[in-house]
Chain A
Amino acid sequence: MTDSIRPILLVEDNPFDLDLAQRAFLKTKIPNPIQVARDGEEALSFLARWEGGETLPAFILLDLKLPKVDGLEVLRRVKSHDRYRIIPVVILTTSTEEQDIQSAYQLGANSYIVKPVDYHRFMEVADQLEAYWCRLNQLLGQ
């Protein structure tokens, strides 16, 4: 496995949002496979999978409002881990609350994006995310 095909981990509970996000990435024609976690607990199970040798994702797209374990807790666990803290985490949420934004950045989020209702704009976001976190970091990695 090389860097270019590192997966993107999508943590999202809303089926429409999940589907639309997958389709948006599909439309940008990125090569990276997309992994999905439907709640916080499932997201945390990836820690064990990475432990077991699975490829680390290029970046994690993390919703904050999640069943079972909420997004901020997932963020805290990832960012407090010795090795996995380097994985970029982009918060993608509906919350515009100042408190959420601050908590996210304090816990080490790399970016905070408010989900746009306009799908056009969401596609732009997906494009930019892929461009920045996959291609740019890949360049830097080389």
Chain B
Amino acid sequence: MKRFWELPGVADGQKIRTGRILFSILYALIISCFLGALVAFVAQETDSAFGLLLAGVFYSGLVWVTRRGWVRLSTFAVLTSLLVFLTYLLFIGQGIHDLLMVVYPVILIIASLLFGPQGFIWIVAVTIISIGVVVWGDLNGLTQATYPQLTNIEDFFFLSMILLFTGAIVWLLADDLNRNLDRALKNEKALEETNRQLEEQTRTLTASEARWRSLVENAPDLIIDVDRDGKILFLNNAYQVKLTVGDSVFDLVPDDQKQVAQAALQSVFRTGEPVRLEFQNQAGEGGSTQWFATRLGPIKQDDRVTSVMIVATNTTVQKIAQENMRQLNLELEARVASRTTALESKARELEAFAYSVSHDLKGPLRGIDGYSLLLLEDYADKLDAEGAHYLASIRKATAQMNQLIDDLLMYSRLERRAFDISPVNLQTVVGKVLDEYGREIALRQVNLLVNVPEERVQADVEGLTQAVRNLVDNALKFTRAVANPQIEIGAQRKDKVCVLWVKDNGIGFDMRYHDRIFDIFQRLHRAEEYPGTGIGLALVRKVMQNCGGRVWAESAPGNGAQFFLELPV
């Protein structure tokens, strides 16, 4: 049935609506015409029956035209036919003249409904045409008018007034109607758009929901949504928990920790702030302890906590690893402590040994020196020159050994002494050392050039003083054979370090031996030429290492030597 009112292939809503009205009118007219024709045929009014049959066919044709989509053309044709018929009745109708006058506005309204605001213009044109058609028919004797042809001026005047008046009202009404219709259409469109968007949103939401659900259900952690009383609203399948929706989440918590758990849940509901808790139970394999790191996060709606999402992670593995690590650390610390104790006792032994060396080695040495001197002094008359020489040599050797023991002791003390690194004024250190050697420098008429600014370096003051002392001592020693001995001491700041140098014009050394001279007991000269123990420069290097600095030298045989000490400032 529905398809009788449809316009195939037409999308315009307005046209479809007009079409529906038009179809209704056309079907009514067709049925009326054919029924009228049947009645007239039975009453043997052959002319009328024939005319009605024609009209029925005409309207059937219009149905076809309408279905083609030519709605306006079809409407126009229907209206024209109706008006022609009406005007015809107006002119020839007997006794229904005044009544017919009223039908015009009705048709006008129908036309306006069908055509919209333009309907008025259409209908005027159609009316004129219909009147023309009727007049033409009357003049040609096709009709037998009761009234004289075209004489009723009054009728025309009224007709015109009615047309104008009704037309104006209809115009206004139709305009308003159409505007409302437009608005309704627009609203409909907007509604459709909103619907479309809603559908889209629903689709997106569904997809999102599916994603989250999958995420939660496949999460390795236990996720539970609970209400204020701890009743489970939702939970996933992690850890094979035996509870279901509606159970109390506190059934999962061991008795001794229930109170803490309840307080935490209430706190989240009250403050809206997340809480972290740690639980442990004995539900592990063979009743072993399991740890759970638990986070309670609020789910809010309009700033009100509606439920709390609990996420619990089994941290047993980490816990055990941590505990193992702690144990290992403890063991390690214990081992370090015991090693340190062992080392400390070793160091004490060494100290005792060094002390013993100083005490015990020097004892016999004092004896040798003392008795050889007594022999030399008290028995001088009984000794010949050679004997005296022997004794003098013994005493020289004794002195040398004494020096060696002293240097060794100093070196070993440097090894075990705690270095006190603090800001040291280079000028003060150099001044102090030069004071010690003042007599020798003056006696030997050494040309001394000192240019050390007040630079502060980071060093152990005692160690550094000893290092500078050794360098000055070396400079004095190796210039002994030079005619006009010169020693230059200077210092210069270079970015983050300060370099102090001691330069002499002594015998110098071959740079091939540069590294060896800083090794302990390494000597480049024979003892009778330049006495020494081979410890001095080793000690200098030790001090510089301990202070975070370095020592190096530049020299050439016969061209003097320059020693550099570099220290952090």
Contact = CB atoms under 8 A, between A and B. Distances in A.
Most A CB contacts (10 A, CB to CB) among B359, B399, B402 go to: B359
A119 B363 CA distance: 12
Interface stretch (B331-339, B370-378, B513-521, B549-557): B370-378
A115 B362 CA distance: 9
Nearest to B360: A94
Contacts of A118: 369, 399, 402
A119 B374 contact: yes
A20 B399 contact: no
Interface in A11-39: 14, 16-17, 20, 23
Most B CB contacts (10 A, CB to CB) among A94, A115, A117 go to: A117
Contact of A120 (B362, B367, B371, B373): B373
A84 interface: no
Contacts of B399: 117-118
Contact of B373 (A16, A97, A119): A119
Contacts of A95: 355, 358-359
A94 B371 contact: no
A23 B359 CA distance: 21
Nearest to A121: B369
A117 B358 contact: no
A135 interface: no
A117 B373 contact: no
Interface residues of A, number: 17
Main SS class of interface, A:
loop
B358 A96 contact: yes
Main SS class of interface, B:
helix
B367 A16 contact: yes
Contacts of B398: 117
B367 A17 contact: yes
A46 interface: no
Contact of A16 (B355, B359, B366): B366
A23 B398 CA distance: 20
Contacts of B365: 117
Interface residues of B, number: 18
A133 interface: no
Contacts of B369: 117-119
A16 B362 CA distance: 11
Given A20-B371, A23-B374, A117 B366 contact: yes
B370 A119 contact: yes
Contact of B362 (A20, A23, A94, A97): A94
A79 B365 CA distance: 32
A133 B2 CA distance: 146
B370 A122 contact: yes
A85 interface: no
Contacts of B362: 94, 115, 117
A10 to B, nearest CB: 15
B359 to A, nearest CB: 5
B402 A117 contact: yes
Interface string A86-102: 00000000111100000
Given A95-B355, A118-B399, 6 more contacts: A17-B366, A94-B359, A94-B363, A96-B358, A116-B366, A118-B369
Across chains A and B, which 5 residue pairs bring their CB atoms closest together, nearest first? A16-B367, A119-B370, A20-B370, A117-B402, A119-B373
18 contacts: A14-B363, A16-B363, A16-B364, A16-B370, A17-B367, A20-B366, A20-B367, A20-B371, A20-B374, A23-B370, A23-B374, A65-B359, A96-B358, A96-B409, A117-B402, A119-B369, A119-B373, A120-B373
